[in-house]
Amino acid sequence: MRLSLRKLSTSLRLRWTRCLGLAAVGLGFACLCHAQETPLISGGYGLFTNSSKNGTSYLPIAEPLIAAPLGEHILVESRAALVESISPRGGSQGGYDHSFFAGLTYLQGDFLATPHLTVVAGSFLTPFGTYNERLSPAWINNLQDGPLIASLGIMGTGTGLGAQVRGSGLNTPRYNLTYAAYYSTRSGKQQFNADRSFGGQASLYFKPPRVEVGLSYGRLLQGTHENFYGLHVWYEPAGTAFRLRSEFARGHHAQGYWVEADYRTAHFGGLDSWEGRFEPVLRMQQTWRRDTLFRDGLPLVNAQRVDIGLDYNLPHNTRILTSYARQFSATGGSRTWETGIVYRFLTPAWKGRKDQ
Amino acid sequence: MRFERLCVALIAGTAVTMLASPTAAQQAPIAPTVAHTPPSRAPAAQPAHEKSDGERVFEANCSRCHTAPDGFSQGISGTVVLHMRVRASLSARDEQALLRFFNP
């Protein structure tokens, strides 16, 4: 959440009308092209609270996503974020300050060129590590906050503006090799802010043991050219409701890792029982500062943090998130209590032929 | 003022979503397979059964990141699969298997 706000505040401010206008253009285009499949609207609504020694902040958020196929080989998709931040003024002042952000997270066109190659053009999420592309939506993340190293390798804004190729390079019954490579140009456009950079990712998923190992690389091509390296390992034992995710990232000025384990208590009556809907979460992370010349979003001193959470998966795609975080560093520690409720929606944009 | 606008937008969005969503009665006959989508993370207590290719694709790709939705309209199953093909870098073969899983 903290990362999302930072990204939004720096680059993704956009007026309501533009968001709606772009969505309307996309939908209209899909209509004109007589898409075979009905476009979908998905995403999540959430209300989060964050309590620390400075008081309690409130963060209502909406993250709508639209995906509209144009024929069998083209998909246009976009995600937006609307966030209201209501936080105490602090000090001797009473009351609350609030700020509102609305912006496009990405807007891209996908062309399915071959069975193993998809060409992406537009504004896309930077493929580095796992958090930015896979875990950042509010309805997916197990904890309200992203990892401390989530800002490493995603080139500032978390989005690139240019082109990307991706797909499954090799897929056998035993493993699946996926890849992504991109080039982004520099853009100062408020809604499509991006740095000139290139990079890529390769990930190997071993199917029987359910282990995924991936490598990421990114290079910033403006200002001081910098390299970013990433490694992630995920493990999900078969026949269990346990997941272990870990990631390491190294940048020019800082590096760090996070390890997260979560377990759905499905052993007690199944996933749909009231006991089986609990989901304890534990995330441990550590960052090391190599120098303090650059603000890359990581703590300015070496830091360790542990998050202990307990989520509850209600019926009808609703989820309650609660967590306690303790952070340690040379400049002092901090404690944070976080709670939230998220509703995930997935619906047709309109009544399609198959629904009639 | 902005907060009020956001609240209004959230309420309007929820209303549109609810209106656009098929009712339970509508959804049940058109998305029987999706409504019976196997749990995203199979609990150990459940009896083992023969898994289809599509189910394996679902478990190996989609549910590694997120839980399965409670259900969705069959009208968007193709779009969901297309979206997952890009997001999860599925091959065309896996895409077809996943589509068959949603629409047997």
Per-residue pLDDT of chain A (356 residues; tens, 9 = 90+): 444 444 444 444 444 445 445 555 555 555 544 546 899 999 999 999 999 988 999 999 999 999 999 988 999 999 999 999 999 987 777 889 999 999 999 999 999 999 999 999 999 999 999 999 999 999 999 999 999 999 999 998 999 999 999 999 999 989 999 999 999 999 998 889 999 999 999 999 999 999 999 999 999 999 889 999 999 999 999 888 899 999 999 999 999 999 999 999 888 888 888 889 999 999 999 999 988 877 788 999 999 999 999 999 999 999 999 999 999 998 888 999 999 999 999 999 987 665 55
Asked if residue A350 belongs to a domain, the reply is: no
Look at chain A and report how many structural domains it folds into: 1
- Can you give the pLDDT at residue A14? 46
Q: How far is CA A27 from CA A33, A67, A76, A346, B101, in A?
A: 10, 9, 9, 16, 27
H helices within chain A, ranges in order? 2-11, 16-32
- Can you give the pLDDT at residue A294? 73
Contact A289, A299 (CB under 8 A): yes
Q: How far is CA A231 from CA A69, A124, A206, A213, in A?
A: 33, 21, 16, 7
- Short-list B28, B30, B6, B1, CA closest to A351: B30
> What pLDDT band is residue B31 in, cutting at 50, 70 and 90?
very low
A150 secondary structure, DSSP code: G
- Can you give the pLDDT at residue B18? 37
- Can you give the pLDDT at residue A22? 54
- Short-list B89, B34, B59, CA closest to A130: B89
The answer to whether B29 contacts chain A (CB < 8 Å) is no
Cross-chain CB nearest to A347 (options B21, B66, B74): B21
- Short-list B60, B103, B104, CA closest to B84: B60
Angle at which helices B92-102 and B77-87 pack, to 10 degrees? 150
CB-based contacts of A213, cutoff 8 Å, min separation 6: A203, A204, A206, A231, A232, A233
Asked if residue A41 belongs to a domain, the reply is: no
Asked if residue A323 belongs to a domain, the reply is: yes
CB-based contacts of A95, cutoff 8 Å, min separation 6: A88, A89
Residue A302 has which token pair?
A: 């070496």
B40 secondary structure, DSSP code: S
Q: Identify how many contiguous H helices and E strands chain A contains and give both numbers.
A: 2, 16
Asked if residue A276 belongs to a domain, the reply is: yes
> Which is higher by pLDDT, B69 or A182?
A182
- Can you give the pLDDT at residue B19? 38
Residue A146 has which token pair?
A: 């992203």
Contact between chains at B78 and A276 (C-beta distance less than 8 A) = no
Contact A297, A158 (CB under 8 A): no
Supply the range of the domain harboring residue A268. Answer: 96-343
Contacts of B27 in chain A (CB under 8 A): none
B67 secondary structure, DSSP code: P
A96 secondary structure, DSSP code: E
Rg (CA), chain B: 17
Asked if residue A160 belongs to a domain, the reply is: yes
Contacts of B39 in chain A (CB under 8 A): 266, 270-272
Residue A74 has which token pair?
A: 């083209």
Nearest residue in A to B28, CA atom: A355
> Which is higher by pLDDT, B73 or A7?
B73
Asked if residue A224 belongs to a domain, the reply is: yes
Contacts of B74 in chain A (CB under 8 A): 354-355
Contact A99, B17 (CB under 8 A): no
Q: How far is CA A20 from the centre of its chain?
A: 22
- Can you give the pLDDT at residue B34? 44
The answer to whether B60 contacts chain A (CB < 8 Å) is yes
Interface test with B, best of A96, A353, A355, A356 (most B CBs within 10 A): A355
Q: What is the CATH number of the domain that holds A226?
A: 2.40.160.10
Asked if residue A207 belongs to a domain, the reply is: yes
- Inter-chain CB pairs, A–B, below 8 Å: 177
CB-based contacts of A199, cutoff 8 Å, min separation 6: A126, A127, A128, A153, A155, A181, A182, A216, A217, A218, A219, A228
Asked if residue A184 belongs to a domain, the reply is: yes
A90 secondary structure, DSSP code: -
Contact between chains at B43 and A266 (C-beta distance less than 8 A) = yes
* Mean pLDDT comparison of A21-25, A217-221, B60-64, B89-93, highest-scoring range: A217-221
